[in-house]
Structure 1
Amino acid sequence: MGHSTRMNATLMPILYSFRRCPYAIRARLSIAASGEQVELREIVLRDKAPEFLETSPSATVPCLKTGETVIDESLDIMLWALDRSDPENWLEPEKGDLDAMLELIGVCDGPFKSHLDRYKYDTRYPDTDRETEQAGAAEFLWHLDSRLAATPWLFGGKASLADFAILPFVRQFANSDRSWFDSQEWTSLKAWLEAFEVSPRFQSVMPKWNRWQAGDTPVVFP
């Protein structure tokens, strides 16, 4: 049985991942939702495996290798998985379309993530003011809250690509100062995040994996 698993795993796409990274979380969420399977290789960021460094042009997770193709951006990995199989129709929201979702995700990945990094890792950015960055990030969260006050998910009554591309970053922001986050009056946003954090979907992509090393028995995900 072990030999068969190893043989099958050699044919699978390889996903280099890091458990807590929000970019990697979004990639795992979409792969799990698609029903595709990959060989998951958990990377330790302070001691990156040489095989990973040879594969990823940016040396960042997540990175997917499928055949001779390397996909080095988390959103592209999401789209790769969902283009192959999208049983929950994440790419077809009730309201809006893929372009509208990508535009909102772009705000998350651009201005919001910039504020988030300077807020969470303020010691790395000595020329920035933490409260200013917090306020800048909060503008995006208020926008999300207003959308979620109208519909349960960002683009209507069912979950879509946008929700699961953005939720890991809202979670990262919230965990930077949870008491402050919880004290804010974005009721709909907090309910959306809390439902995600306790969901079987989120828990299923967050087990603790051992650091991958060459020669390890392949870990099939999901």
Structure 2
Amino acid sequence: LIDQNDHEFKHWLDRYKYADRHLEMTQEQYRQKGETFLQVLEELLTQNLYLLADKVTLADIAIMPFVRQFAHVDRNAFYELPYPNVQRWLNHWLAHTLFLQVMTKYQPWAEGDEVVFFGV
């Protein structure tokens, strides 16, 4: 599943995100190609709370950031797609405490600003 994410879904995700650089197809066509993987995830999530089980696995952790990127290309379009389990699963991760901790937003540093240390 991770291999499929990394080699197939990522290919279409990049073209969907940057359709203006890949003019062979429209952004919507690239989205539809990416949806093939979302359909696989949707089916898995009809069977379990997470992708492969009712507990978190490496697959969930590895795949979630890519689904997040896909969703954020056009959030309205993503949430209109017929993948309620994928949407539920993604929303769970987006609200998860660990995700929120690592995704802290910082203002870009400028000369004269206080030094910020990460991971200390």
In structure 1, the partner of 2:117 is: 219
Report which of the two has the higher share of helix.
2
Q: Which has the higher contact order (CA 8 A, sep 6+)?
A: 1
Shift of 1:128: 2.7
Matched, 1:149 2:46: yes
- Residues 1:126 and 2:44 aligned together: no
TM-score, normalised by the number of residues in structure 2: 0.86
Q: Give the alignment of 1:30-109 within 5 angstroms.
A: 104-109=1-6
Distance in 1 (alpha carbons) for counterparts of 2:104 and 2:119: 11
Q: Give the CA deviation at 1:106.
A: 1.1
Per-residue CA deviation, residues 102-146 of structure 1 (Å, 9 max, x unaligned), is: xx1111111111111111111111223322211110010010011
Say whether residues 1:201 and 2:98 are aligned partners: yes
Identical-residue share of aligned pairs (%)? 35
Name which one, 1 or 2, has greater alpha-carbon Rg: 1
- Number of the residue aligned with 2:56: 159
Q: TM-score, normalised by structure 1?
A: 0.48
Structure with the higher fraction of residues in strand conformation: 1
Residue 210 of structure 1, CA deviation: 6.1
Q: How many residues align?
A: 116
CA distance in 1, matches of 2:21, 2:73: 15
- Cα RMSD, aligned residues only: 1.9
The counterpart of 1:172, out of the listed 69, 76, 95, is 69
Partner of 1:19: none
Partner of 2:7 in structure 1? 110
Equivalent position SS for 1:171: helix
Cα separation, 1, equivalents of 2:55 and 2:34: 25
Unmatched 5+ stretches in structure 1: 1-103
Q: Which secondary structure does the structure 2 equivalent of 1:219 belong to? A: coil
Q: Which amino acid aligns with 1:124?
A: R
Q: Is residue 185 of structure 1 aligned with residue 82 of structure 2?
A: yes
